[in-house]
Amino acid sequence: MYQIHKSLGQHFLQDENISRKIIQALAFQPGEAVLEVGPGLGALTKHLMALPEIDYRAIEIDREKVVYLLKQYPELKGNVLQGDVLEMALPFSRPFKLIGNFPYQITSGIMFRIMEWKAHVQLVVGMVQKEVARRICSTPGQKTYGLLSVLLQTWFQIEYLFEVSPHCFFPPPRVQSAVIRLMPKPEHPLIADEKQYIKLVKAAFQQRRKMLRNALKELFPPEQLQHPVFNQRAEQLGWADYLQLYEWYIHVNQ
């Protein structure tokens, strides 16, 4: 038997058809490295283990679920780590794919982790709360467009694949879920100081109802704030616009 820990947001996928669709979205090729985040009771794990020559690793915060998985799949000993993905070191020394039914309360943290690992991540397939999936896939001008939309779209091509009903889980969550896929852009922008880029985008969205002239007044000199772009609000700019703002910001702060 096992316990369900509400504090960890545990909802275990039990629909085999959904599991297979998620695995198919990974577009696995023999010999590839795959990290599974939050394997839980192994709804995806058992399908992953059937893939040819998979170099598999998993990170699971719940010790009880780690013990359960190793009983089911003894061959995984040494490849299922107990720990927090938000504190995990880079899991492979070569490019890898990432898959998981992400714990909803730390989805944003996982996305920032993926951005940190973007030079090594080949592809991501993740189940997230439907509301978060829509936010990530939003375009400028939409109410759901925000910080994660801009940052992830800077470096990744994003697909909203399909939705998953609560009855596909045990216990069923109170929210709808959706599966998204992230693929690194073949020619993503090279940003010398990514922390400063993130800082700028965060500053814009912290006061999203204000014009950028007010939201970013601490970051730019008064004469630069007269440019027409600063008459807009945060949700009106695409990632390329933010990249231009970043380049201006770096120039005036050299």
Residues of each annotated binding site for S-adenosyl-L-methionine: 11, 13, 38, 60, 84, 101
For residue 147, give the amino acid letter. L
In 99-216, where does DSSP find H-type helix?
A: 107-116, 130-137, 147-155, 194-206, 212-215
Instruction: Write the CB contacts of 124 (distance below 8 Å, at least 6 apart in sequence).
Output: 97, 98, 99, 114, 156, 181, 182, 183
Backbone torsions φ then ψ of 139, nearest 5 degrees: -115, 165
Q: What are the residues whose beta carbons fall under 8 Å from the beta carbon of 172, sequence distance 6 or more? A: 11, 166
> Could you give phi then psi for residue 179, rounded to 5 degrees?
-110, 130
Q: What's the token pair of residue 207?
A: 């006061």
> For residue 116, which phi and psi values (nearest 5 degrees)?
-65, -35
Let me know: does 107 contact 37? Beta carbons within 8 Å: no
Q: Helix, strand, or coil here: 248? A: helix
Q: How far is CA 33 from the centre of its chain?
A: 18
Which residues are registered as beta bridge partners of 81?
59
Q: Are 90 and 120 in contact (CB under 8 A)?
A: yes
Binding residues: 11, 13, 38, 60, 84, 101
